[in-house]
A and B are shown apart, each in its own frame.
Chain A
Amino acid sequence: MLEGKKTATKPPVRKAPAALGETVKDNEVSRRSFFSWLSLGWIGFVASTGGFFTMMLRFFFPNVLFEPVQTFRAGYPDDYIIGEVDTKWKDKYGVWIIRNREGIYALSTVCTHLGCTPNWLASARKFKCPCHGSGFKSTGINFEGPAPRPLERYRIVLADDGEIIVDKTQKYQQEKGQWSDPEAFLRV
């Protein structure tokens, strides 16, 4: 670009090319020193960007991770009414606990379409996602909207004292046939 401007004002003076290894006197940068400076520049550039990306990478591994509790006690089976969806653990743990005639199961509150939190519509007896309109029955089965698979269930067992323990680290997916696992459904 700069060259172009210069040529516009006065024609360039052509010089005979310097012989190999011969230093060019009028601008003091020889071919060899040019390459040393260039490599120095590159090393500096790579080092600084590398350092910067190392810092960025370090940022992804925090010193302290505030993870919510993954296992919690959810009261006694008698706390849950047959045929009702209990939403009291939704805000704290992201779990719905539902009791039907045979037993109790814990559903994840994460929509299987894109991860929003559906709402339990008691009058229509369905979970309805506010993001793209996916609908789930109280069993967790997807029946309307775009959700491709049912809601996931969490491990649910009884403690020795008869209290329910919900373990969110273990999940059961219907499409993989995992709902028949004895710990995916608490018989009462």
Chain B
Amino acid sequence: MDSFKEIVNYISNPTILFTTVVLVFPFIFPPSDWFEKWHRRLGLHHLWGTKFIVIAMLGMVAFFMYGLGDYNFQKIVLKPDNVPISGLIFLVAFFTWLAMNQAYKNDERLNAGEKPNEYFEAPNDKVLVWPDLVYVELISLIIASAFLLVWSIGLPAPIEEPANPTESPNPAKAPWYFLGLQEMLVYFDPWMAGVVIPSLILVGLMAIPYIDRNPENSGFFSYNRRRLAISVFMFGWLVLWLMLIIVGTFLRGPNWNIFGPFEYWDIHKLEALTNINVSEIIYIKWLNKGLPDSIIIREIWGISILLGYFLILPPLLAKTFLKDMYARLGSVRYSVFIVLILIAITLPIKMYLRWMFNLKYIIAIPEYFFNF
């Protein structure tokens, strides 16, 4: 069984885990016809059938039960801070499945010319607030309060030593819901990943109803007619947010090194993570001379890369791959959408640049707190 643990440790390294997820993702949530074709051909639509969720849930429970026999796994999974994340894995898997299951059923009904399931729950598009909705809310509220009460008594908050500004716990983890951001901070300047990108995430979420004004399918679950929108959103939500929370919770150990779920948290684990900026790669590695004194000349390469990414790529895409989208959205909505998407994609891009080329910053101007 040790070899099984080693395999799990090996594949849970983010380089492998993240790459696999990114490659498999568009086949599970197909954004276009081509992926849809392969989605069906590979039988991945069975993922949203009843049989699969039973097997998946049993498999996940079995994995956790097996893992709890391991000291290192048990220590990390049963830590009171981390219990919500163990729960999150099951809850998100189940509710994603539930939504997709209903969406696929509705897709079939719609294709057959029938009305969606939700139509029969509220035929005139209205439900009564009192008593129906208020009742449900009251009951949920009571159950949730009771649950939280039992939880807080059963798993008390781990009180640590008094706060001390000169002593950071090792590893020092943010609250679980911020671990995605903390993971992002590994690859970005604190100003970018701590302030600019989180604000843009909020702005971007607020912008969704203005960018995507397609009134189709409002009020019921459906995948097929909005597959691009759903696929893009799911990638941001499941991969760039929740997966990073899971990585931050379970896989980050002392000195913020990566540890497999069955690996001992060795404070002395050594990992060579030396990294350099684009300017250093160009001037020192390639041209074999020192960095120029002028900041502009030093960073001109990084600045051009970034300008190209944000100014040349969008019109290029509008002329080629995203032609239809550009025509549908118009220039303003298209620009807002594409810039937000490109910023979101900088995260995986920077992760890969770090993993593959030990690249720290594309633009590095520490003199003026601007690093990207």
Interface size on B, residues (CB 8 A): 34
Q: Is the interface of B mostly helix, strand, loop or mixed?
A: loop
Q: Which chain A positions have C-beta within 8 A of B273? A: 133, 135, 144-145
- 0 or 1 for each of B246-275: is its CB under 8 Å from A? (1 = yes): 000000001111000000000010101111
Judge if A84 is at the interface, Cβ distance under 8 Å. Answer: no
Beta-carbon contacts under 8 Å, A147-182 to B? 148-149, 175-176
B361 located at the interface, meaning its Cβ lies under 8 Å from any Cβ of chain A in the complex: yes
B190's closest neighbor in chain A, by CB? Answer: A114
Could you say which interface size class chain A belongs to?
Answer: 20 to 34
Q: How far is the CA of A139 from the CA of B164 in the complex (A)?
A: 25
Contacts of A109 in B (CB 8 A): 166
Residue B171 at the A interface, CB < 8 A? Answer: yes
Is B169 on the interface with A (CB-CB < 8 A)?
yes
CB distance from B195 to the nearest CB of A (A): 11
**Do B166 and A131 have beta carbons less than 8 Å apart?**
no
Scoring B165, B169, B189 by chain A CB atoms within 10 A of each residue's CB, the highest score goes to B165
Docked CA distance A117–B167 (Å): 6
Task: Pick from A91, A128, A148: contact of B366, CB below 8 A.
Answer: A148
Chain B residues with CB below 8 A from A129, complex form: 168, 255-256
B255 touches which one: A94, A113, A117, A133 (CB < 8 A)?
A133
Residue contact A130 to B268, C-beta cutoff 8 Å: no
Does A72 count as interface, using CB distance less than 8 angstroms? Answer: no
| A80→B115 CA distance, assembly (Å) | 81
Give CA–CA (A94, B170) in the complex, Å.
Answer: 17
Asked if residues B367 and A143 are in contact (CB atoms below 8 Å), the reply is: no
B53 interface residue, CB < 8 Å from A? no
Residue of B nearest to A150 (CB): B366
Q: B367, A113: Cβ atoms under 8 Å?
A: no
Known: A114-B194, A145-B273, A148-B361. A130 touches B168 (CB 8 A): yes
- Give the complex CA separation of A176 and B365 in angstroms: 11
Contact of A144 among B165, B182, B274, B361 (CB under 8 A): B274
Encode B351-372 as 1/0 by CB contact (under 8 A) with A.
Answer: 0000000001100101101010
Known contacts being A130-B168, A130-B170, A130-B171, is A146 close to B366, with CB within 8 Å? Answer: no
14 A-B contact pairs sorted by A residue (CB < 8 Å): A91-B166, A92-B166, A109-B166, A119-B168, A129-B255, A131-B171, A131-B185, A143-B275, A144-B275, A146-B185, A146-B189, A148-B360, A175-B366, A176-B367
Q: Please give the residue numbers on chain A whose beta carbons come within 8 Å of chain B beta carbons, in ascending order.
A: 90-92, 94, 109, 113-114, 116-119, 121, 123-124, 128-133, 135, 143-146, 148-149, 175-176
11 more CB-based (< 8 A) A-B contacts, given A114-B185, A149-B366, A175-B367? A113-B190, A117-B168, A128-B256, A130-B170, A133-B257, A144-B275, A145-B273, A145-B275, A146-B185, A148-B361, A148-B371
| Complex A-B, nearest 9 residue pairs according to Cβ-Cβ distance, in ascending order | A133-B256, A130-B170, A149-B366, A144-B273, A116-B168, A128-B255, A175-B366, A148-B371, A117-B168
Q: Chain B residues in contact with chain A, CB under 8 A?
A: 164-172, 182, 185-190, 194, 254-257, 268, 270, 272-275, 360-361, 364, 366-367, 369, 371
